Amino acid sequence: MIETCKNYCVLKAFDIDGDMLGKCRELAAVDGVSLECKQQNLDCKLTLVNKSASDIVFQKILDGILEILKSNVYANYDTTLEQCVIENARSKGAKIAVAESLTGGMICSRLVNVPGSSAVLYEGFVTYDVSSKVRRLHVKLATIEEFGVASEEVAYEMAHGLLENNEIDFAISTTGCAGPGSDEYDTPVGLSYIGIGSRNGIEVFDTFFDKERNEIRKCVTNTALYLALKNIKEL
């Protein structure tokens, strides 16, 4: 139990695969040390507990785990993706806008959960219908007709539409197909695109999750928050 240990460390990381976790467990396989890992929808909490090992041994294990996980670690304390996004955006004085399709407001809801988010979150759109993307975000109908609504090009134009407002410093957009069936453009279920944009440019990331509908949406939400956090840190 943490209550009876010498010391412990919590790491928050994103998208830890089995190989990485296996290497971390090997490092922590030392008398007096334990490693607990809980991962949900790609968001991972690792708790390294030192019950009786020396501080030198414990620190060596921790350093080794950090070397294995590298940039997958987004915090060295118990926190959330949305908390980190808000804190980092606030420290940069950045205003965020979000345009969501398949995530349907999940990203905005997560951000609003954080106290003080009003200093950062400027606005959010759930542009679920094609006409909403065109009217609200100025996505070109020709782009949708050529590439489909769940496409890199549409995610880019959604983020670009947000950034047309000069009060916005950072934009997040999502579009994709969460199922249970494909859309009229035959988009594979589980495929999504996440647009991350600032005044420095817009980058679009594609993801694919072979999961149930709402699990796909949760994974896309977490991925969008993680990518936003990485890019806000670079602002």
Check pLDDT > 80 for residue 2: no
Percent of the chain with pLDDT over 90: 95
Supply the mean pLDDT for the chain.
96
Residues of the chain with CATH 3.90.950.20: 81-233
Six token digits for residue 149: 């609504």
5 confidence band (pLDDT: 50, 70, 90): confident
pLDDT at 3: 62
4 confidence band (pLDDT: 50, 70, 90): confident
Q: Each residue of 160-192: pLDDT tens digit?
A: 999 999 999 999 999 999 999 998 889 999 999
> Taking a C-beta distance cutoff of 8 angstroms, is the pair 199, 169 a contact?
yes
CA distance 211 to 101: 18
Q: Each residue of 73-87: pLDDT tens digit?
A: 999 999 999 999 999
Q: Each residue of 193-222: pLDDT tens digit?
A: 999 999 999 999 999 999 999 999 999 999
pLDDT at 101: 98
Check pLDDT > 90 for residue 1: no
CA distance 193 to 158: 11
Q: What CATH class does 81-233 carry?
A: alpha beta
- Report the relative pairing of strands 73-75 and 33-40 from DSSP bridges: unpaired
CB within 8 Å of 96: residues ≥ 6 apart: 85, 89, 111, 120, 121, 122, 168, 169, 170, 171, 172, 228
CA distance 197 to 76: 26
pLDDT at 184: 87
What fold characterizes domain 2-75?
Answer: Alpha-Beta Plaits (3.30.70)
Six token digits for residue 15: 């998208």
Residues of the chain with CATH 3.30.70.2860: 2-75
For 60, counting Cβ atoms within 10 Å of its Cβ (0-12 exposed, 13-18 middle, 19+ buried), the class is: middle
> Taking a C-beta distance cutoff of 8 angstroms, is the pair 189, 179 a contact?
yes
> One-letter amino acid identity for 71?
S
pTM of the model: 0.96
Over range 87-98, report the average pLDDT.
97
Q: Report DSSP state, residue 151.
A: S
Weakest-pLDDT range from 3-7, 11-15, 96-100, 122-126:
3-7
Distances from the Cα of 197 to the Cα of 55, 75, 85, 164, angstroms: 43, 22, 14, 11
Strands (E), 41-140: 43-50, 73-75, 96-100, 121-126
Q: Each residue of 27-79: pLDDT tens digit?
A: 999 999 999 999 999 999 999 999 999 999 999 999 999 999 999 999 999 99
Residue 80's nearest CA partner among 220, 225, 235, 184 is 225
Six token digits for residue 226: 């993680």
